[in-house]
Chains A and B, each alone.
Chain A
Amino acid sequence: DIQMTQSPSTLSASVGDRVTITCRASQSFSTWLAWYQQKPGKVPNLLIYKTSTLESGVPSRFSGSGSGTEFTLTISNLQPDDFATYYCQQYHSYPLTFGGGTKVEIK
């Protein structure tokens, strides 16, 4: 199984900041990685797939990059609506696995 480790687990930031979340994989793979945003009591929402492709309707301040064992989600110009928990998910192989999540809090 591919283990996905996210860091940090919690991140404190201010509106307007640029934040980066890292997802490290226990095995190398190319591009089959997605990112989701989840707000408390809500359903996860797809942000990015194939490492860097923005889902339709997702603001361009979200971006993704990486390959191999290290992938990143960057939010530039953090907005009040962005305070949430973010998860990475690999779909290179089964079982599909998620990172443990990164909670972005207001500083």
Chain B
Amino acid sequence: QVQLVQSGAEVEKPGASVKVSCKASGYSFTDYGVHWVRQAPGQGLEWMGWINPGNVNTKYSQNFQGRVTISSDTSATTAYMELSSLTSEDTAVYFCARSRPDRGWIYFDCWGQGTQVTVSS
């Protein structure tokens, strides 16, 4: 079945970077985009950016421009999200999610289980 499995919880110090992985299975990895969405404690959902593994194109939210890098490894069917210059405001659950890459299809029909990232000194 279609599945996205994320790496485990991380605890980082302010100013550090974190890299979260998202392993895809059960579908053709290059036929779908992988997005990253975060949810701070008790808050709503915030889109961070996405990658199309088929052509390695990326697009980021301006809220994270310069701090977030999304990449993919087709041979490993895995996408990655790296966030740098962490502050306590980056403490959140980070989700990866799948969508078709075409306009009109950019909604999320499968989500990873989420990765808790805690930023604390």
Contact = CB atoms under 8 A, between A and B. Distances in A.
Interface of A: 1, 32, 34, 36, 43-46, 49-50, 55, 87, 89, 91, 94-101
A98 B44 contact: yes
Interface of B: 35, 44-47, 59, 61-63, 95, 97, 99, 104-109, 111-114
By secondary structure, the A interface counts as loop
13 contacts: A32-B104, A43-B111, A43-B114, A44-B45, A46-B108, A50-B104, A87-B45, A89-B107, A91-B106, A91-B107, A94-B59, A95-B62, A100-B44
Given A34-B107, A50-B104, A94-B59, A43 B45 contact: no
Nearest to A46: B109
A26 B61 CA distance: 18
A99 B104 contact: no
A49 to B, nearest CB: 5
Contacts, number: 53
A55 B109 contact: yes
A94 B82 CA distance: 20
A55 B95 CA distance: 20
Q: Which of A36, A44, A97 has the most CB of B within 10 A?
A: A44
Which 9 A-B residue pairs are closest in the complex by CB-CB distance?
Answer: A34-B107, A91-B106, A96-B47, A95-B61, A98-B45, A43-B111, A49-B107, A101-B44, A100-B44
A40 B112 CA distance: 15
Given A50-B104, A95-B63, A98-B46, 6 more contacts: A46-B107, A91-B105, A91-B107, A94-B59, A95-B47, A95-B62
A49 B98 CA distance: 14
Nearest to B4: A43
Nearest to B35: A96
Nearest to A48: B107
Contacts of B111: 43-45
